[in-house]
Each structure stands twice: as structure tokens, then as C-alpha cells.
């Protein structure tokens, strides 16, 4: 359960997000005004904030800047109607942790929320990641499944590391494109599908159980069989 601050003036969108989050078991405060949101953001111990870029009172970018200037470490996802070339960079420069262009699937927002919010701090310090019988040695850059060494290309290693760090969480195709390939645009090709399938062929296919799961029309999630 996370406590989420949602700053959004469009009732339709805020209902949609808060309904969705509530049914995923999160607690949401919705504020349509930027100034109110700044006060609330500084006062209340939220786990994460979702901020629309165009809101009355104080615009989204200024709100993010003010929160950061006040020293807040609150993870922030910016929502925007503008998906232009510079808009993303501007948003991240202002101090947002993630950036999502409208329209977005709720699953995309949820995945990003889960990836950002309250990540167990220990996962950052581990040098060996383990999921079931899959083992990734970050220091020695070695991947093993059932004790067998699996040869991975550098980009496949990065992909597997990202999936394992987010064990059990859904990672969307766009998130993978941004994080692994640094593509902040639609590549017009099956970059993610192809590379995930290559990775699968190496770490899943030769073994009994499948660890990389496809989440239909959303993305992928790596976890031990449930």
C-alpha cells in the first residue's frame, strides 16, 4: 500500500486514476490546484506524487521545482498532454523521476508507480541478484541458471538486471525502451519484443520453469513460478 498524491484538474482523468489505484490497494489524495498540492506535498508524508503538467494555481513543472527546492525526495511522475521532443527533458530537468504522456494505459502508470515507489533499499546494494535458480553476479558480470553459466550480450545483461531488480513487478515496453535502449521515441520496430525473446531463449527455454512472463498488451515481469 502506498500513499499517493495525485495533482490533476481533469475530473475524468483523476477519477480514472484514483479508481484504478484504489482497486490496487493504494490510498490517494486528489488535489486539482498546484498551490494546494505544494502545501500538501510539503506537509504530508506521501510515498509518491503524480503531477499533471497543466494545472491551475501553480503549473506542474513549477510545482516539481518547488518541491525539489524544499529538499523533498518524494518520487514524482509527471503526466502531460505534450509528448514533444523537449517536454520530456524539461520535465526530468525540473526534478521529476518519470514522465508519462497522455493518453496512457492505466497499466503503464501502475507499472511506473510500482517501479518508483518505496523500492526496498537493500536491492540497490546487492552484488548478486537471485530469482529462483537464476543468479546474476553484478560484480563479475556473470549470469547462471541452475548453476550453468549463460552467455549474455551486454545489453541482454542490462535487460536481465533491470527485470531482476524489479522482480515481480510489471515493466512495460516503453519503460524498457527508455531504460535499456535510451529510446524516448517509438522506434517503429519490435525492439523490445525481439530482445526479450532472445533473452528468453537463453535463460528460460533450455530449462523447466519460465521466469520471464509476458503481461498481455503491457509488458513483462520476471518472477519465480507462483
Residues near another protein (CB under 8 A): 10, 12-13, 16, 54, 81-86, 89, 101-106, 153, 155, 181-191, 194-195, 197-198
Shortest distance in whole angstroms from residue 54 CB to another protein: 6
Backbone CA torsion sign across 214, 216, 220, 221: negative
Residue of 38, 44, 36 whose CA lies nearest to 2:
44
Task: Output 162 or 181, the one with its CB closest to another protein.
Answer: 181
Shortest distance in whole angstroms from residue 163 CB to another protein: 17
Q: Which three cell numbers stand for residue 172?
A: 512495460
Task: Output 129 or 218, the one with its CB closest to another protein.
Answer: 218
Task: Output 28 or 74, the one with its CB closest to another protein.
Answer: 28
Shortest distance in whole angstroms from residue 84 CB to another protein: 5
Shortest distance in whole angstroms from residue 11 CB to another protein: 10
Task: Output 135 or 156, the one with its CB closest to another protein.
Answer: 156
Question: Cβ(4)–Cβ(49) under 8 Å?
Answer: yes
Query: Taking phi first (over 0 means left), then psi (-120 to 50 degrees means alpha), and beta for anything else, what does residue 71 get?
Result: left
Inter-CA distances, 52 with 33, 102, 166, Å: 10, 10, 26
Task: Output 10 or 161, the one with its CB closest to another protein.
Answer: 10
Rounded to a whole number of angstroms, the CA Rg of the chain reads 19
Shortest distance in whole angstroms from residue 183 CB to another protein: 7
Shortest distance in whole angstroms from residue 186 CB to another protein: 6
Helical H runs in 126-183? 154-165, 173-180
Report the 3 state secondary structure along 18-71: HHHHHHCCCEEEEECCHHHHHHHHHHCCCCEEEEECCCCCCCHHHHHHHHHHCC
Task: Output 133 or 178, the one with its CB closest to another protein.
Answer: 178
Amino acid at each position: 500500500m502506498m500513499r499517493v498524491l495525485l495533482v490533476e484538474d481533469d475530473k475524468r482523468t483523476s477519477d480514472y486514476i484514483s479508481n484504478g489505484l484504489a482497486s490496487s490497494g493504494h490510498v490517494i489524495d486528489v488535489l486539482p490546484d498546484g498551490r494546494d498540492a505544494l502545501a500538501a506535498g510539503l506537509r504530508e508524508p506521501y510515498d509518491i506524487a503524480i503531477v499533471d503538467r497543466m494545472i491551475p494555481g501553480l503549473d506542474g513543472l513549477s510545482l516539481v521545482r518547488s518541491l525539489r527546492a524544499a529538499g523533498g525526495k518524494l518520487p514524482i511522475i509527471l503526466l502531460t498532454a505534450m509528448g514533444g521532443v523537449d517536454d520530456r527533458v524539461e520535465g526530468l530537468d525540473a526534478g521529476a523521476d518519470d514522465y508519462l504522456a497522455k493518453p496512457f494505459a492505466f497499466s503503464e502508470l501502475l507499472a511506473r508507480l510500482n517501479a518508483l515507489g518505496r523500492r526496498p533499499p537493500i536491492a540497490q546494494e546487492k552484488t548478486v541478484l537471485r530469482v529462483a535458480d537464476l543468479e546474476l553476479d553484478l560484480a563479475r558480470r556473470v549470469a547462471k541458471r541452475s548453476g550453468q553459466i549463460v552467455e549474455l550480450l551486454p545489453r541482454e545483461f542490462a535487460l536481465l538486471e533491470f527485470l531482476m531488480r524489479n522482480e515481480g513487478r510489471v515493466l512495460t515496453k516503453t519503460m524498457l525502451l527508455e531504460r535499456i535502449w535510451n529510446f524516448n521515441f517509438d522506434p517503429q520496430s519490435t525492439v523490445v519484443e525481439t530482445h526479450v525473446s532472445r533473452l528468453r531463449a537463453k535463460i528460460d527455454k533450455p530449462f523447466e520453469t519460465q521466469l520471464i512472463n509476458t503481461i498481455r498488451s503491457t509488458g513483462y515481469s520476471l518472477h519465480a513460478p507462483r
